[in-house]
Amino acid sequence: MPELPHVICLLGAESTGKTALTESLARVLRDCGLDCAVVPETLRQWCDQHGRTPRPDEQAGIADTQSQRIADAARQHTVVLADTSALMTAVYSDFLFADRSLYAPASQAQARYGLTLLTGLDLPWVADGLQRDGPQVREPVDALLRQALQAQRLPYKVVYGQGAERGHNALSALVGQPWLQALPQAAALHERLRQQRDEAKLNKPWQCEHCSDGGCEHKLFTGLLGARSAA
């Protein structure tokens, strides 16, 4: 069992809705009475502060800070939503600088978290200053993320959908966690999930034809994923 089962980490290539989804989930959890903390992306804050993207030698410090902030929040709150983790920094270090040295510590940190959500590539790419390189970066980064998760046998669930459907699918994955089911707020979360399904006019929670596990993505984007051997 993960050491920090109440940490939910959102990973994904650029412009796949990680921050918006993190904030949406946090609002739902807080509305249901849960003490929920959000750990923002350290890289974004770093770029805003320095007015540039980091050099190769600065990547490790950013990754370590992200992991430490998540661990600090986990000691103080019932639920922690992390807008990316050190694994995201490791992937970009590999992609941009061919530096794979950050994978080992990042994977060790990721293994401690209870749930990893990978945001799918079904949203349109939107520019965001220093934070985003271009739509051509999304597919290779997504492939590296999946490879890193699967190489270390780190379970993850993929979140697809537009608008309210995306939030519903993410909440469905979260509500299914055993530790959360034991909390007094579980009934309120299930009711909120039902309301979301009705509002979004969904017939059932999202899943591939077998399950929602990232390693078993058969139905959606099969051509893309098959070409990368990532699913």
pLDDT per position as a tens digit, 69-100: 999 999 999 999 999 999 999 999 999 999 99
- Of the pLDDT bands very low, low, confident and very high (cuts 50, 70, 90), residue 196 is confident
Q: In this predicted structure, what is the pLDDT of residue 1?
A: 67
DSSP 39: E
Nearest CA to 173 out of 208, 147, 138, 144 is that of 208
Q: In this predicted structure, what is the pLDDT of residue 89?
A: 96
d(CA 8, CA 73): 12
Task: Please give the tally of structural domains in the chain.
Answer: 1
Q: Is the Cβ–Cβ distance between 38 and 23 less than 8 Å? A: yes
| Residue that wins the pLDDT comparison between 205 and 159 | 159
Res. 211: pLDDT tops 60 = no
Give counts: helices (H), strands (E), the chain.
Answer: 10, 5
Nearest CA to 64 out of 109, 94, 101, 98 is that of 109
Q: In this predicted structure, what is the pLDDT of residue 136?
A: 80
Q: Is the Cβ–Cβ distance between 13 and 121 less than 8 Å? A: yes
Q: Is the Cβ–Cβ distance between 107 and 155 less than 8 Å? A: no
d(CA 90, CA 94): 6
E strands in 35-177: 36-39, 79-83, 113-119, 157-159
| Residue that wins the pLDDT comparison between 209 and 192 | 192
The sign of the CA dihedral 210, 225, 88, 83 is negative
Res. 193: pLDDT tops 60 = yes
d(CA 62, CA 78): 25
d(CA 216, CA 199): 28
Average pLDDT over residues 134-145: 88
Angle CA 124–127–132, to nearest 5:
105
E strands in the chain: 4-11, 36-39, 79-83, 113-119, 157-159
Q: Is the Cβ–Cβ distance between 10 and 84 less than 8 Å? A: yes
User: Which helix (DSSP H) or strand (DSSP E) does residue 50 occupy?
Assistant: helix 42-50
**CATH code, 60:** 3.40.50.300
Length of the chain: 231
What is the chain's alpha carbon radius of gyration, rounded to the nearest angstrom?
A: 17
Res. 63: pLDDT tops 60 = yes
First to last CA, the chain: 24
Please give the residue range of the domain that contains residue 128.
4-228
Average pLDDT over residues 183-202: 84
Average pLDDT over residues 44-50: 91
